[in-house]
Amino acid sequence: MKQGRGGARGAPAGRTRWSEFAIVALIRVLGFSTVGFVLLIFAFLLREGLPVFFELPASTLLGRLWYPTFGSFGALPLILGSLLVTLLAVLIALPLGVASAVFIREVAPRWAREVLKPLIEVLAGIPSVVLGFFGMSVVAPLVRQWLGAPTGLTAFTGALVLAYMSLPTIISVAEDALDAVPRGYRDAGLAMGATRWQTTWRVVVPAGRSGVIIAGMLGMGRAIGETMAVMMVTGNAARLPLDAAALFKPVRTMTATIAAEMGEVARGGVHYHALFGIGILLFVLTFLINLAAARTILRRRRKGGLR
Amino acid sequence: MGTILRHAIRLPGLAGLAGLAALIGLAACGSGGEGRAEGGVRMQAAAGQPAGERTAVPDPEPSTRAVSVKNIGSDTLVNLALAWAEAYTAAHPQVRISVTGGGSGTGIAALINRTIPLANASRAMSGEEISSARAAGFEPLQHTVALDAIAVVVNPANPVDRLTIPQIADIYTGRIRRWSEVGGQDRPIVLLSRESNSGTYVYFIEQVIRLGRKDNKDLPSPETLLMPSSEGISAEVRQNPNAIGYDGLGYVTADQKVLAVAAGEGRPYVRPEAATVLDGSYPIARPLYMYTAGEPQGAIAGYLSWILGDGQALIQELGFVPLSPGGGGTR
C-alpha cells in the first residue's frame, strides 16, 4: 500500500500507467459498445422482421388494405400516413423554429434570452402522452369546428402536435447554427449600411443555412419516431392519404400501428413479423434522415464553419 | 360509474387486508365461497381492524400464503375483473390477484406463452390460438363468467335513436355515408371502432358487420377511426355530433346516447339492458370468458368457483349481465 502510493507520487511508474491504461480502455469499450448496441438492435429487428418479406409477396406488403386481424398486410397507407404527418409537422415547425431562434439569438435582450433558453428545454421535457391528451381534448375539437371537418382527429391535428414537439429540437439546433456565424459578418453587414433586419435575414440566416437544414432534419427525425401523441390525435384510420382532402382526414402512422398492435400478436406469427418489418422501415428512414443531417454537418465543418 | 365503484370496492379490500387476524378463520375455509363468509368479510372491512393486530397472530399456513395470480386480458372485462379480484382477496388474503387489461389477444398470448395462469377474453380463442396453446403443451379451458351487450352509441345531439343491424353494417362498411340516409341530419358519419387487438372489434365485425354469416367477408371501411381505448371512443362520441361508435355496455357513460337495435327490418327495436340481454331479445350480446391452461388448480380453481357463485353479485353494478337472473348463478 505504502509502496504503491510512494511510487505514484514519485515518477509515473507502473501503477499510474496501468490505471490510466485501464480507464482509457474502459472509455473506449463504452464508446464502442454504443455502436455495438445499435448494431445489435438492428440485427434483432432484422431477425424478427425479415421473415415477413418471405412470408408475403411485395405486392401484398405495398397493398392498400391494412387489416392484420383478417390477413391483409398492405403497409402503404401506414408509410404514406407517417410521411404525410411528419412532413407537414416540419413544414409548420421549421419557420416557427427558425424565427424563434433568430429572435433569441439576434433580437431578444440578454435577460429574455436567459429566460427563454431554459424554458424551451422544459418544453422538450413535456411527456408526449400529456401533449397527446391535450391534442385529443383541446386541439381536435377546435380543428373540427374551425375547419368543418367531420372529425377533429386528423393528419393536420397530428402535425400540429408533432410540430409543437419538434420545436425545441429545431430551435436549439438553429440557434447554435446562428451562434456559429462569425461576428464579423454582422459587423460587415451593419457597416455596409444595412439595417439590423436586413443584416439578420440576408446575411446571418443565409450564412447559417446548413445549420437550419440540419435543424429541420433533426426535427423530422424526432417527429417520425413519435408514437403516443400521434396515436391519440390522428384517428388511426388506415386509409390511403392520396387525395388533397387527406390532410383533414384521419391517418394511421407506422409508429402508432406498432404500438397499438404489438401487444396482441402471437410471437413468431405473420402479423408479428409484419410489425417488425415496419420497424425495420422506420429504423432505415430515421437512419437516412440522421445520415443526411450528419453529412451536412461534416460538409459545413470542412468549409470552415459556414455554409 | 366504473371509477366510483372501483374506489368503493378498494376500501374494503385494504381494510380486509389490515384485518387479516379476524379473517384467518374464513381464509381457512378456502374457496368455499359461502354467502355468509362474504357478508362477514364486508362487516370486518367496515369495522376497520387496526393493522397492528396482524403481527399478533401466527401465520397459519406459510406455504399457502401470498399465492399471486396474474390475470391479464380483455379491456372490456378489466373493471369487472378488478372488482372481483378486490372482493375476493378481501375474503382470501392468502391470494393476491393482479389484474391488467391490454385486450383479449394480449391476455390469450400471455396464457399461451405461460406467463399468466388466467386470461380474460371477450371473444372465444381462435383456432390458431388453440393450436399454439396445444403446441405449448396444454389444452386451454374456457369458463363463461358473465354476459355483455355491445351498445351502439351516438352523440346525444344526434336525432337518430334506433338502427337495424343491416343498417349498422352498411354504415360501417361505408355503403351509408350520411346520417340523412338513416333518418338523421345531413351530416357525414364518422365511424369509430376499438383497435384490432380488442375482442369487441372481432366480435363486432363477425356478428354485426358480417351479419353473423361465415361466408360474408365484409370489413369495416378503411375510413374507420381505430381508438386505442374505450375512453377514446367515449371522448369522441361525447364531443362530435357526426360520430357513431360501439363498446361494451359497461363502458357506456351517461353523456353518450345508446341506440335501440333491431335484428332486421320489421323486428322489434330493443335497448341493451340486463333483462333484454338475459332473455335474448337484444341482438348484440355475447358471453365473456376467462381461460385457464388446463383444468384450474388450487387458488385459481377456488377463485373461478367464487366468480361463478358469489362473484356474480358484483356483475350488475358494473354494467354487465350476470349469467342468471338475480346474480347468484352457479356453474
- Local structure of residue B274 (DSSP, 8 states): H
Q: Chain B contact for A260, CB < 8 A?
A: yes
Whether A255 contacts A225, CB under 8 Å: yes
CB contact under 8 A, A261 and B195: yes
* Contacting residues of B for A70, CB less than 8 Å apart: 205, 219
Which pLDDT score, from 0 to 100, does residue B196 have?
81
* Contacting residues of A for B103, CB less than 8 Å apart: 263-264
Mean pLDDT of chain A: 87
CB contact under 8 A, B228 and A236: yes
- Local structure of residue A154 (DSSP, 8 states): S
**Confidence class for position B31, pLDDT limits 50, 70, 90:** very low
A108 in the Ramachandran plot: left (φ > 0), alpha (ψ -120 to 50) or beta?
A: beta
CB contact under 8 A, B106 and A144: no
**Confidence class for position B53, pLDDT limits 50, 70, 90:** very low
Residues 10-69 of B with CB under 8 A from A: none
Which pLDDT score, from 0 to 100, does residue A13 have?
58
pLDDT single digits (tens) B278-328: 888 999 998 899 999 999 988 899 999 999 999 998 888 888 888 876 544
Which span out of A65-74, A79-88, B24-33 was modeled with the highest average pLDDT? Answer: A79-88
Distance from the B65 Cα atom to the nearest Cα atom in chain A, whole angstroms: 32
Mean pLDDT of chain B: 79
Query: Taking the C-alpha atoms of B271, B275, B277 and B278 in order, what is their torsion angle to the nearest 10 degrees?
Result: -160
| Mean pLDDT along residues B107-125 | 91
Which pLDDT score, from 0 to 100, does residue B176 have?
94
Q: Chain B contact for A265, CB < 8 A?
A: yes
| Mean pLDDT along residues B269-282 | 89
Which ipTM was obtained for this model?
Answer: 0.79
Identify the CA nearest to B293 among candidates B118, B123, B100, B126: B118
Q: Chain B contact for A270, CB < 8 A?
A: no
The span from the CA of A29 to the CA of A26, in Å, is 5
Which pLDDT score, from 0 to 100, does residue B323 have?
87
- Whether the pLDDT of residue B190 is over 90: the answer is yes
Query: Could you give the percent of chain A with pLDDT greater than 70?
Result: 92
**What chain B residue is nearest to A235 in terms of C-alpha separation?**
B225
Which pLDDT score, from 0 to 100, does residue B76 have?
82
Does A302 or B29 have the greater pLDDT score?
A302
- Whether the pLDDT of residue A128 is over 60: the answer is yes
Query: Could you give the percent of chain B with pLDDT greater than 70?
Result: 78
Query: Could you give the percent of chain A with pLDDT greater than 90?
Result: 47
The span from the CA of B217 to the CA of B331, in Å, is 36
The span from the CA of B200 to the CA of B304, in Å, is 23
Does B35 or A301 have the greater pLDDT score?
A301
- Whether the pLDDT of residue B5 is over 50: the answer is no
* Contacting residues of A for B205, CB less than 8 Å apart: 69-70
Which residue, among B114, B196, B216, B236, would best test binding to A if mutated, counting the most A CBs under 10 Å from its CB? B196
CATH fold group of domain B69-146+288-318: D-Maltodextrin-Binding Protein; domain 2 (3.40.190)
Which pLDDT score, from 0 to 100, does residue A14 have?
65
Identify the CA nearest to B129 among candidates B103, B150, B148, B98: B103
CB contact under 8 A, B197 and A153: no
- Whether the pLDDT of residue A124 is over 70: the answer is yes
pLDDT single digits (tens) A193-250: 999 889 998 999 888 888 888 899 889 988 998 999 999 999 999 999 988 888 899 9
* Contacting residues of A for B222, CB less than 8 Å apart: 64-66, 77, 237-240
On the CB side of B260, CA atoms within 13 Å amount to: 10
Q: Domain spanning B148-285: which CATH class is it, in words?
A: alpha beta
Q: Chain A contact for B109, CB < 8 A?
A: yes
- Whether the pLDDT of residue A155 is over 90: the answer is yes
Q: Locate CATH 3.40.190.10 in chain B.
A: 69-146+288-318, 148-285
Task: Tell me the pairing of strands A72-73 and A66-67.
Answer: antiparallel
Q: Chain A contact for B120, CB < 8 A?
A: no
**Confidence class for position B228, pLDDT limits 50, 70, 90:** confident
* Contacting residues of B for A265, CB less than 8 Å apart: 105, 109
* Contacting residues of A for B100, CB less than 8 Å apart: none
CB contact under 8 A, A266 and B129: yes
| Mean pLDDT along residues B94-123 | 90
Which residue, among A73, A136, A264, A271, would best test binding to B if mutated, counting the most B CBs under 10 Å from its CB? A264
- Whether the pLDDT of residue A53 is over 50: the answer is yes
CB contact under 8 A, B196 and A265: no
| Mean pLDDT along residues A65-84 | 90
**Confidence class for position B101, pLDDT limits 50, 70, 90:** confident
Lowest-confidence segment of A46-55, B177-186, B246-255, B260-269 by average pLDDT: B246-255
Q: Chain B contact for A190, CB < 8 A?
A: no
Lowest-confidence segment of A259-268, B176-185, B234-243, B285-294 by average pLDDT: A259-268
pLDDT single digits (tens) B126-141: 888 899 899 999 999 9
**Confidence class for position A12, pLDDT limits 50, 70, 90:** low
State how far the alpha carbon of B93 is from the alpha carbons of A36, B45, B110, B230, B313, in Å. 48, 12, 25, 31, 20
| Mean pLDDT along residues B27-56 | 34
Does B41 or B121 have the greater pLDDT score?
B121
Which pLDDT score, from 0 to 100, does residue B105 have?
86
- Whether the pLDDT of residue B331 is over 80: the answer is no
* Contacting residues of A for B174, CB less than 8 Å apart: none
- Whether the pLDDT of residue A4 is over 60: the answer is no
Does B247 or B61 have the greater pLDDT score?
B247
| Mean pLDDT along residues A278-285 | 91
**Nearest CB to A231: which of B219, B222, B228?**
B228
Question: Cβ atoms within 10 A of the Cβ of A131, count?
Answer: 21
- Whether the pLDDT of residue B93 is over 60: the answer is yes
The span from the CA of B229 to the CA of B41, in Å, is 34
Distance from the B110 Cα atom to the nearest Cα atom in chain A, whole angstroms: 9
Does A41 or B63 have the greater pLDDT score?
A41
Q: Chain B contact for A240, CB < 8 A?
A: yes
Give CA angle at B237 (B233, B242), nearest 5°. 125
Residue type, A174: A
